[in-house]
Structure 1
Amino acid sequence: MSDGNTDVPRHIVSVALGPGLPELVPAGDYEACPVTQTLQMLGDKWTLLVLVMLAERPHRYNELRRRVEGVSQRMLTRTLRTLEEDGIVTRTVFPTIPPGVEYALSDRGRDLLVPLAGLADWVIRGQAA
């Protein structure tokens, strides 16, 4: 398909994405869509990098902060909280002084790695073409 060709057959769209969209898509419906919300979360500046690091192994907070050049404490905390709220990351607090905190991928987070790897492969193949 050329860069300007957006004429994808409707049956391909419905198989890949579902039944399609109504003529008018209400903004509230779009914002409330779980697919939209997930893609927005993944599009955050630091999310993918944190996910890839946690895919390697669990990390403590300061370890993540040292590995991610340029991330502020506030943004890393916000990213980790969002991932935790979405059930992608687990947070374990250890009873030490000061308390140690470790972040790891949840089962849902590990499941997310499969489509992310497919997307990464698609991007890399597209660059080689």
Structure 2
Amino acid sequence: MPVDVNRLGPWAHRDLTARGTRFHVALAGPEAPSGSGPLTLLVHGFPECWWTWRHIVPALAQAGHRVAALDLRGFGGSDRPPSGYDLVTLAQDLAAVVRSLGHERAVVVGAGLGGHVAWALPHV
């Protein structure tokens, strides 16, 4: 039975464009003005989507984090361009999403493929 990953919950769904690609992001927690509060970016593995983090998002939000669980390019509700699936491009996507959310820095948590992309982020 398919799961409706856009269902209501303690999060809001938002599509944002970064680097010419549309990304689906589930957001929760307090919105800090101009990036003054902590942002935690959750990056799913393969072949998953933001829904992987559905049990973690509320706990982090209740702890005061602004939480963004995104769908990487090619997954979930994000665009599926024909190229750009290498680690460097995916890591650059993460950096652009963080900036699009009004932050310069974030705590990045990744699982599986998302862990590899998170690890590559400081190197781009």
Query: Is the radius of gyration larger for structure 1 or structure 2?
Result: 1
Structure in which a larger fraction of residues adopt strand: 2
Structure number with higher relative contact order (C-alpha < 8 Å, ≥ 6 residues apart): 2
Same fold (TM over 0.5): no
Structure in which a larger fraction of residues adopt helix: 1
Please tell me the TM-score bracket, short chain as reference. under 0.3
**Could you tell me the TM-score, scaled by structure 1's length?**
0.27
